[in-house]
Amino acid sequence: MPSSFRRIRIRTIFCIALLSLSSIAVQAQEPIISVEQKSPDSKRGRSRSFYFSVYTGATSAQSSDLRLTQPRLGTDVTYRDVNYEGKPFTGSPYYGFKVGYFLPKAPRVGFELEFNHAKMYAKLGESKQLTGTWQGQPVNTVEPISDRVDKYQITNGINALSFNILYRVPVMASEKYPDGRLQPYIGGGPQYTALYSINNVGGLGVREKYHPNGWGYQLLGGARYLLNTHLGAFLEGKYQHGDAVSIIADQGVSDGGRGVTDIRIAQVAGGLFYQF
């Protein structure tokens, strides 16, 4: 009886010890299983914050008044509602590129620095209202712009540097695409432009060169689509607005005059981006 009791007691102690070891082993394995489960997914499905993109597309420049001043010649005139063309694939093409970053803790919000190159060609063959003073004489007439202006274009071009704030919405989100494979977005921000004008006003041609212009703004909206976890394509519409103060020639001074009009350019851009 005592020996049977000892055997039962030993078995009981052995079973308790075995259960205790099993419990410890399970608890010790749980973090390992969690790490093993998260490790591949975290690598495969983590949010990617930085990106670089390039694009081209089509542009449409809207009409605006054009004021021409040549102080030494006594010229200060304004053409009303001058029409412009964008000609995105004539000469230097329309293009742009961006570097951006989405906040890891707020992945719907992003910031990007963008360079954009667009152009404006005045339609000189059209007749427009002309008012003001031309070489000291008052004018108030309707005539073709080409009667006094042989060339007026910003072709090398309107070079814009923008700082955009973006907001995106994740669509088709998954473990592989945590921020959405499809990402509609809107944005906008301030924009600074430099111009390269080519013009001939009153028989005087400008000395061609790049020159700083001024501040404006940009509004945009579009959608990004990921082809894989790194590479994607996007399509967006954008609108640029600001003043365009071009250099024109004056009497005896190749850059003494000014041509002032508005930048009102609607753009449709498409391109590729790479995120990492």
C-alpha 261/C-alpha 239 separation (Å) is 16
The reply to whether 58 and 14 lie within a common domain is no
* pLDDT tens column, 192-225: 999 999 999 999 998 888 999 999 999 999 999 9
Give the structural domain span for 106: 47-275
Q: Per residue in 149-162, is it b (16+ CB within 10 Å) or e — as a string? A: bebbbbbbbbbbeb
Q: What's 105's domain CATH number?
A: 2.40.160.20
pLDDT of res. 72: 95
Residue 145 burial (CB count, 10 A): 20
Instruction: Give rounded-to-5 percent helix, strand, coil for the chain.
Output: 20, 65, 20
Domain termination site, one of 27, 45, 63: 45
The reply to whether 150 and 244 lie within a common domain is yes
Supply the mean pLDDT for the chain. 87
The reply to whether 18 and 99 lie within a common domain is no
The reply to whether 8 and 53 lie within a common domain is no
Average pLDDT, stretch 67-84?
98
The reply to whether 101 and 193 lie within a common domain is yes
Q: Is residue 77 scored above 90 in pLDDT?
A: yes
Domain termination site, one of 45, 65, 81: 45
The reply to whether 245 and 206 lie within a common domain is yes
The reply to whether 69 and 19 lie within a common domain is no
Pair 122, 152: CB distance under 8 Å: yes
The reply to whether 208 and 123 lie within a common domain is yes
Place of tokens 């009409």: 63
Span of 26-40, 82-96, 201-215, 229-243 with lowest mean pLDDT: 26-40
Q: How confident is the model at residue 254 (pLDDT cuts 50, 70, 90)?
A: confident
C-alpha 76/C-alpha 154 separation (Å) is 20
Question: In one letter, which amino acid is 9?
Answer: R
Domain termination site, one of 45, 61, 79: 45
Residue 165's contacts (CB-CB under 8 Å, 6 or more residues apart) are 109, 110, 111, 187, 188, 189
Tell me, rounded to whole angstroms, the distance of Cα 206 from its chain centroid: 31
Q: How many domains does the chain have?
A: 2
Tokens of 48: 């990617």
* pLDDT tens column, 23-73: 333 333 334 333 334 434 344 456 789 999 999 999 999 999 999 999 999
The reply to whether 140 and 243 lie within a common domain is yes
The reply to whether 37 and 74 lie within a common domain is no
Looking at the DSSP bridge assignments, the partners of residue 261 are 244
The reply to whether 61 and 150 lie within a common domain is yes
Q: What percent of the chain has pLDDT over 70?
A: 83
Q: Is residue 19 scored above 50 in pLDDT?
A: no
pLDDT of res. 47: 73
Angle at CA of residue 53, ends 48 and 57, nearest 5° = 145
Q: What percent of the chain has pLDDT over 90?
A: 78
pLDDT of res. 46: 66
Residue 196 burial (CB count, 10 A): 20
The reply to whether 4 and 108 lie within a common domain is no
